[in-house]
Amino acid sequence: MAIVEMLQKRRQAAKGMPRSQEVVRGSMVVMSRHCGKSGCRCQKGFKHRSLYISQRYKGSTRMIYVPRRSEAKARKWINNYRQLKAVLDKISDVNIEILTKDGK
């Protein structure tokens, strides 16, 4: 593949990038818990649902609470991170091709 074609391939891959300011690294986790209050419906098996972002941070896992009002935004930003990472992987692969073909 010619350098010009590789550069075009790299430009095409970059078009799929989400906004880099709207990314969060991690995974959504739904946790169900008992609150401990006697007479609460969670004592009868209807546990309280809460959302967290699970993230590796400084060698350990941390859980960040996500309020219900922010669930859609958190899911979108996590998805944006995954898309951004996939696009960067494609661009990196093309750049490796360019570097190894350079001068040939």
Residues of the domain holding 50: 3-101
Which H or E run contains 92? helix 71-101
Total domains in the chain come to: 1
16-64: pLDDT as tens digits: 787 778 999 999 999 988 888 888 888 888 888 999 999 999 999 999 9
> How does strand 48-57 pair with strand 60-66?
antiparallel
Largest pairwise CA distance in the chain: 76
Which strands make up the sheet holding 48-57, listed edge to edge? 27-33, 48-57, 60-66
Q: How confident is the model at residue 72 (pLDDT cuts 50, 70, 90)?
A: very high
Read off φ and ψ for residue 73, nearest 5 degrees.
Answer: -65, -45
Residue 89 and residue 13: Cα distance in Å, rounded? 10
Count H helices, E strands: the chain?
A: 2, 3
Strand-pairing partners, residue 53, are 28, 64
- pLDDT at 13 (0 to 100): 83
Residue 46 and residue 6: Cα distance in Å, rounded? 56
- pLDDT at 41 (0 to 100): 86
